[in-house]
Structures are given as C-alpha cells and as structure tokens.
Amino acid sequence: QCLYQFLAFVPPSNGSLRKPGTAAVMVDTQHPLTLLLNGSVGDREFCKIQYHFGEFGNYSLVVKTLSTSTKTVSCDLVINEGPINSYLPILFAFLVYMGILAILIVGHLFMKIDPVRNWVYKKLNPRETDRLINSELGSPNTTDSISSDPTRRLWSTTSRQRLRSLDTFRGLSLIIMVFVNYGGGKYWFFKHESWNGKPYFPPAAFSRFVFIMGTSISLSLSSMLKWGSSKRKVLGKILWRSFLLILLGIIVVNPNYCLGPLSWDNLRIPGVLQRLGFTYLVVAALELLFTRAGAESGTLETPCPALQDILPYWPQWIFILILEVIWLCLTFLLPVPGCPRGYLGPGGIGDFGNYPNCTGGAAGYIDRLLLGEKHIYQHPSSSVIYQTTMPYDPEGILGTINTIFMAFLGLQAGKIILFYKDQHKQIMSRFVIWSIVMGIISAILTKCSKEEGFIPINKNLWSISYVTTMSCFAFILVTLIYYLVDVKRLWSGAPFFYPGMNSILVYIGHEVFENYFPFKWKMEDSQSHAEHLTQNLTATTLWVIISYLLYRRRIFWKI
C-alpha cells in the first residue's frame, strides 16, 4: 500500500532520426516492483507492469505506439543481460566452513589414537612429555591431576553442573547478531524487516538472546539463594548489574572515537544493552520477589499437576498480564496527534501516504514525547522502503514491555529445567508444549498473514505477536540444542559455546571495534556480495577465535 514514487521522465522520441527517447534508472531487487507508465499530457495511464528484478540484471521497458488514432500503446519488458546468481558466495562460504569442520572432526578422531596423541604432545611440549615418561609414577590419570589441583577440581565440578546447551544457545544467538550487525554480506534476508513480517532466522537473534537471558536468570538466582545468599544481597547484585548494562549501552551506542566530543543534544538514550539491562532488572526482581521455597523441588502441592511448574508462580503471571494490558491500552487507545488511534504502520509513503508522520503509532509518539526526537534512533529500517522522515527507535520504551514478556518466557524455560531436574523427557516435552501454545497464539493474533492480522508480527514495535512467534521458535531451538548437547552429548556446543561464555565482552567488543582493522577494511568493489560476505564472516570468525582463546585462559568478563 505504498504511494507511487516518481522514477524517471522519458523524453519523446526523435522522429526524424528515428531515435527513441530513453531514460536509465536503477531499481530495488528485494521486492517485486510495479512500474506505472503515464503520459505527460493528461496523466493518462499507458501500462502497468509488475516484475521482480534480479541483482545486476539489465532490462529494457520498450514502449511503442501501435495506433495513433486509438492511442494504443504496447509495453514489453526485455532482458538485455540476465541477473547474476548472488547466492554463489554463500554456497562457497558454506563449503569452506564445512571443510574446516571436517578437518577438525578428523583431527579430533586422530587425537584419540594414543601414538598420534603422544607424538603431538611431544612436538608441542617435549620437556613436559619427557618428564612424564621418566616419572616413576608414570602417566597421571585425570582423577589424580584434578584432585591434586583444587582450582581445577572446582572448575571441573562447576563445569559439569553448568548446562552447556544454554551457553551454546546464547553463543549461537550472539554470533548471528554479530554477523548481522556487521552487514550480513549485504543480503536483504540478513537484514531486519522494513516493517511488518517475521524476520528471517539471523535478524531474530536478539529475541533469542533475550529469551535465554530469562532462562539464565532462573538458574542463577536459584543457585545464589541455594548457596545461602540473602535476598537483599542478591537484589543489590541485580541493581548493580542492570545499572552497568544500561551505562555500557549508552556508551556503546554513542561512539565518537574520531569525531570529537559528543553533544548531549544528540545523545541516543535507548539501545540493545539498555533494553537488556532494564529487562533484566524487572524479570530478575520479579523472580526474586515471588520465589517460593520448595517450588523448584516440587514439594509444594498444586491442584493441577500438569501446571505444577506454573501455578506456584501465579503472582508473576498476574504482573506480566498487567504489563501486557498496559501495552495493549497504550498501543490501541492512546490518542496520537495527526494519526488514527491504534495505528501500527510505518508512516511515510506506506498506507498510501495518508499518515506520513505516524511511524510506529503510539510507540514512536511516546519515545518522541518522553525522550525527545534527537535522543532516539535517527535512521530506522522503515526509512529505506517507506521513505519515512520521522525518527523511530526499535529499542524504545513501549516495546520494552514485550521484551520483558519474552524474557519471562525464557524464565519459564529455566523453571522447567529446575523443576524437572535430570528428567530429560519431561523437560523436552514441556518445551514442545510451550512452543505449540505460543505458535497457536501467534496464528490467532496474525490470522496467519503478514499484514491482515489483529496484531502483525513486527520487530520494530516488538509486538505481542512477534514475541509469541519468536518464543515459539526459541522453545524449539532450545529443545534441539538441549537434546544434542546435554542429553545425548552428540555435540559439545563448539564453537558457539565459547562466545556464549563471554557474551558481554563479545557484544561490546564487536560494537567498539566494528570499524577497525582486521574487522573492517576498504573493499575493491563495494557492490560485491563476495567481498562483503568475506569481510563480515572474517570479523565474526575472529570474535569466535577470541572467545575461544579467552575460554582457554579462563578469562571471563562478568558484570
């Protein structure tokens, strides 16, 4: 429902020289386009053609007058040069990474062979190998080496108790976020949706990160309280960590490393870490306030055994439902000047240009009213297609309510893990049930359509349907990773496990050093997917390697 935008004026042909009038233009290839040709006199419509153009293709729209008396015009689309296959760089990159994976697997299998392992150890550390060979005690076993070192014994105990699947899930979400933030090879499906629509797997990584943060809250608070920490002390840690996340977020989203002092007049207040910090504060405080002794162990009696991991926490659910009612009332009932009540559109040229200054409806209005236009994001994704001019922040105030709901669903996943400890079938079946429930709610809210539902899926707004849809997939993904990593132990979680153990450092590091070598360099062809993909994958891989090296040295940045 976009207004037609002027593309080009085609001059009249030169009849004496038999030279047609021509105009050359560049068009977008992400979506199918409708080309409308009008006459310059009387604005008469000659023809309308809908076509999905391909990348770097060369096309001609040939317009001929068939009859001057009836003013009949023919319009034919001719492909002068076919579009390129822009997916070949992705295929090549996939094969390269699969080759590296195959080499690592083969190397791991060879290291299980004693002669090969001994030869490698001798080459890497000949003095230590000789010392072990000449030792009267012979080769120490794992138990002896661990028991002789209290630090290693402590690490071994904690690592066994820690669920690797959760760190793997967090690391996977984080690395995808890094890749997308670096550009995603300039492929449109690695970018955020301009407005409505379910994001593809990579751009939805932030929602999964929020989800697993909620899961971690449940496990970490349970552990701290079990080890004797008072609620007051835990609350102090929650407040301090939230403050640090918000402070770091404001610093990271306002970089002025080479541009001189930052003006307070243009300081952006919302951001990813800010939203994470506030969400963490609300969800962790909610869990701490209403946690009940015996609920996790299943000793509390509940009238409905099927809901025994939900009913003990009914005050939390009441609080979340109140938040959702607030979101619905503000979104659909708040009067916004110059906009229809309950407007959820992008503004600009969307909706036939009727509401150009209504980007985000109530969500955008609240941010502009409370924070000021200069203190929110100035270049929203809606500006590319819908040509919006109003600033809009996808990490704004109103959407934070549904981010809290997303983290709370992750918190519920953590409670399931605690309640059904070591009962793998029960844990996975509960995850699947939650996924189905969230999927059904999404289908009802959206009517299984992109634009025609009651509440469309929208990442910019963090609509309730976006949360239910993303949590549906999050429950499925955490079930799969939990099964592979912690139940069957078919996968160690590598390489995603390592950035998952150092998530704050990797996220802040990738933001701070985004424009520095070797994470970025000047490209020969800025229009090349291959060059962009090479640069973005290299930068992302470097952060995986950095997190692995930090893990090996037991260096973890916790706040």
For 16, the token pair is: 């004496």
Does residue 175 sit in helix, strand or coil? Answer: helix
Q: Judge whether 510 counts as a catalytic residue.
A: no
Does residue 62 sit in helix, strand or coil? Answer: strand
In sequence order, what E strands does 57-216 have? 58-67, 72-81
For 367, the token pair is: 């941010």
The contacts of residue 180 (CB under 8 Å, 6+ apart) are 190, 191, 192, 202, 203, 205
Pairing of strands 45-51, 58-67: unpaired
Half-sphere exposure of 248 (CA within 13 A, CB side): 20
Cα–Cα distance, 164 to 100 (Å, whole number): 23
In 3D space, the residue among 386, 218, 392 whose CA is nearest the CA of residue 288 turns out to be: 218
For 351, the token pair is: 């909706």
In order of 183, 329, 331, the CA distances from 452 in angstroms are 31, 20, 17
Cα–Cα distance, 194 to 28 (Å, whole number): 14
For 477, the token pair is: 């993904």
Rg (CA), the chain: 28
Do residues 174 and 427 make contact, with C-beta atoms less than 8 angstroms apart? no
Sign of torsion, CA 36 41 43 45?
Answer: negative
Cα–Cα distance, 469 to 197 (Å, whole number): 11
Cα–Cα distance, 320 to 326 (Å, whole number): 10
Q: What's the 3-state SS for 33-59?
A: EEEEEECCCCCCEEEEEEECCCCCCEE
Note if the bond before 495 is cis, omega within 30 degrees: yes
Q: What angle do CA 535, 384, 386 make, to 5 degrees?
A: 160
In order of 111, 117, 126, 197, the CA distances from 120 in angstroms are 8, 5, 9, 52
Cα–Cα distance, 544 to 510 (Å, whole number): 11
Catalytic residue among 31, 192, 375, 379: 192
For 84, the token pair is: 């390129």
Cα–Cα distance, 295 to 301 (Å, whole number): 9
Does residue 491 sit in helix, strand or coil? Answer: coil
Q: What angle do CA 11, 17, 19 make, to 5 degrees?
A: 40
Cα–Cα distance, 355 to 339 (Å, whole number): 6
For 70, the token pair is: 């009836």
Residue showing tokens 């552990």: 223
Q: What angle do CA 204, 208, 214 make, to 5 degrees?
A: 150
Cα–Cα distance, 380 to 266 (Å, whole number): 16
Q: Which residues are catalytic?
A: 192
